[in-house]
A and B are shown apart, each in its own frame.
Chain A
Amino acid sequence: KAGVTQTPRYLIKTRGQQVTLSCSPISGHRSVSWYQQTPGQGLQFLFEYFSETQRNKGNFPGRFSGRQFSNSRSEMNVSTLELGDSALYLCASSLGDGNTEAFFGQGTRLTVV
């Protein structure tokens, strides 16, 4: 069974630009969550989608947004990029019932210059 796929793996953007990251969950998983991973901060929760609806949101500014499509694929968008947005962005998929583990993709490494 294929794992969680994130594209692209690496991105370099300049300040002020916007970026869209993509995540394809494991087949049958309807929940997709996004996390920002930075050294010393661990994984910070961005948001979670289930059946195209955002069920939970972390404490990130409105520049960070996401959506989920009917096939459960999800995209995350960051507008007006700042240097501090440089991080590894991880996507995780699960069945979405709150009682099963999340499976992670390899992440998208975003560098803002």
Chain B
Amino acid sequence: AQSVSQHNHHVILSEAASLELGCNYSYGGTVNLFWYVQYPGQHLQLLLKYFSGDPLVKGIKGFEAEFIKSKFSFNLRKPSVQWSDTAEYFCAVNTGTYKYIFGTGTRLKVLA
């Protein structure tokens, strides 16, 4: 069955630290990949997406992610986090079956 794994469930960083959140998926075919963010009390928002082309994609708020097909990974990165990045981050995959498969999420807390 298709699945998405997010290895870090809770991450605590100080402001200005670098961030990398892991995401791996299990599916051998073509995928569309997403990272969503959920700020406290708010709805899920799209951070970035990958459909095809350059495997390094840039999103909003300085986030980027790299698709490595051979590793079935789509890790999220940010060089320098801010307190306002405190949120829950979800990796998601769409395999063209009209449903999105989400990871269990990573709660990021940034200390001021």
Number of A-B residue pairs, CB cutoff 8 Å, is 56
Closest to B49 in A: A101
Binary A-proximity of B86-104 (CB < 8 A = 1, otherwise 0): 0000101010111111111
Which residues does chain A contribute within 8 Å of B98, judged by CB atoms? 31, 33, 48, 50, 55-56, 96, 98
Binary B-proximity of A99-113 (CB < 8 A = 1, otherwise 0): 101111111000000
Q: Are A40 and B49 in touch, CB under 8 angstroms?
A: no
Closest to A102 in B: B100
* Number of interface residues, chain A, beta carbon within 8 A: 28
Q: Are A98 and B44 in touch, CB under 8 angstroms?
A: no
Q: Which residue of B34, B46, B99 contacts A45 across the interface (Cβ within 8 Å)?
A: B99
Closest to A46 in B: B99
Q: Within the assembled complex, what's the spacing in Å between the Cα atoms of A92 and B44?
A: 9
Which residues does chain B contribute within 8 Å of A35, judged by CB atoms? 102
Q: B42 interface residue, CB < 8 Å from A?
A: yes
Closest to A107 in B: B43
- Whether A42 contacts B90 in the complex (CB less than 8 A), given A90-B44, A104-B43, comes out as yes
Pairs across A and B, CB under 8 Å, 20 listed = A3-B43, A4-B43, A31-B98, A33-B98, A42-B105, A43-B92, A45-B101, A48-B98, A56-B98, A56-B99, A90-B43, A96-B98, A98-B96, A98-B98, A101-B46, A101-B49, A104-B44, A104-B45, A106-B43, A107-B43
Q: Which 8 A-B pairs have the closest CB atoms?
A: A42-B104, A43-B102, A104-B44, A106-B43, A98-B96, A56-B99, A45-B99, A55-B98
Show the binding face of A for B, using Cβ within 8 Å. 3-4, 31, 33, 35, 40-45, 48, 50, 55-56, 58, 90, 92, 96, 98-99, 101-107
